[in-house]
Amino acid sequence: MPISFQEHRFVVTGGAGFLGSFLCEKLRARGVSADRLFVPLIGDYDLTREADVERLYATARPDVVIHLAAQVGGIGANRANPGRYFYANMAMGLHLIEQARRNGLKKFVQVGTICAYPKFTPLPFREEELWNGYPEETNAPYGVAKKALLVMCQAYRQQYGLNAIYLLPVNLYGPRDNFDLETSHVIPALIRKCIEARDANAEKVVCWGDGSPTREFLYVEDAAEGLVLATERYEQPDPVNLGSGREISIRNLTELVARLTKFTGRIEWDTTQPNGQPRRCLDTSRARERFGFTAGTDFEQGLRRTIDWYEQHRQS
């Protein structure tokens, strides 16, 4: 059943957040009018509560729900909140997918996480590898909760005919990201550390681990475009990776951020802290073949835009 941006009503959970704000801009550019795009705010709807999710569906009357809302952070936040992250992410998806079934939704888009992959997944990560091992320990509760929602989407498609799709974006970065050092992911944390050290004329910045793990990063506007294309064109139960296909070590990333922020001190590695998953790099062929998505933003250019945004918006 084709999705019409000019006719259907959309709910974007997490639509006021980092990725969600760009996704909403993309939807509006495709023709979704303000009266057909509903973003539930956390102060008005607690999506971990079934009654609030029922009220959301009754109020917004959506045809399409794109579920981005999540409780998540970097390694430190994941280690500090394993129970909270499992419960919140499981409960939100559980209630939203069940209400999608009850309300006869035309399409439900569940955004998963790269943390769902096994700790030692052969590179590049292919969607078929999702169940071939347990996720990396520091973010396993979050990853397992999100992966369980893939099973729920597939089961509801099989039993009830719910048109639910599941997407696996890799680590995102870009303007409007979370730069709080307690909860941020690696790129915003490195940018903030390097800029603050530069401005303080500090001799060094200290980074977790030994710098050996690799990561893949996807610019936030590219991710939003991938979500729009999948919402419009993809109709199958198989999970789909969203990524750039470019792998970089944390050590090389840190050196690149230091250069772009003009921090000239030394980088010190705290090997008492965890590295996280050893390597991450995605096979992105399924997204290209099934709904025509290819990431278009050069990594260094994306980093420069992110740094510029932070410089303009940080507290002086």
Could you list the pLDDT tens digit for every one of the 316 residues in the chain? Answer: 689 999 999 999 999 999 999 999 999 999 999 999 999 999 999 999 999 999 999 999 999 999 999 998 777 888 899 999 999 999 999 999 999 999 999 999 999 999 999 999 999 999 999 999 999 998 899 999 999 999 999 999 999 999 999 999 999 999 999 999 888 889 999 999 999 999 999 999 999 999 999 999 999 999 999 999 999 999 999 999 999 999 999 999 999 999 999 999 999 999 999 888 888 999 999 999 999 999 999 999 999 999 999 999 987 5
| C-alpha–C-alpha distance, residues 222 and 127, integer Å | 20
List Cα–Cα distances, 61 to 9, 15, 18, 31, 191, in angstroms.
Answer: 7, 16, 24, 18, 41
Task: For domain 10-173+218-245+281-296, say whether CATH 3.50.50.60 is its number.
Answer: no
pLDDT at position 49: 98
- What is the three-class DSSP state of 13? strand
Q: In 3D, which of 151, 80, 70, 164 has the Cα closest to residue 113?
A: 70
Separation of first and last alpha carbons in the chain: 50
Tokens of 205: 């910045």
Tokens of 228: 């729009």
Determine whether 310 is an active site residue. no
Choose, from 142, 156, 166, 234, the residue flagged as catalytic. Answer: 142
Nearest-Å Rg of the Cα atoms of the chain is 19
| C-alpha–C-alpha distance, residues 88 and 91, integer Å | 5
CB 266 within 8 A of CB 108: no
pTM, full prediction: 0.94
Domain segments of the chain as ranges: 10-173+218-245+281-296
Could you report the per-residue pLDDT of 228-281, keeping only the tens digit for each?
Answer: 999 999 999 999 999 999 999 999 999 999 999 999 999 999 999 988 888 899
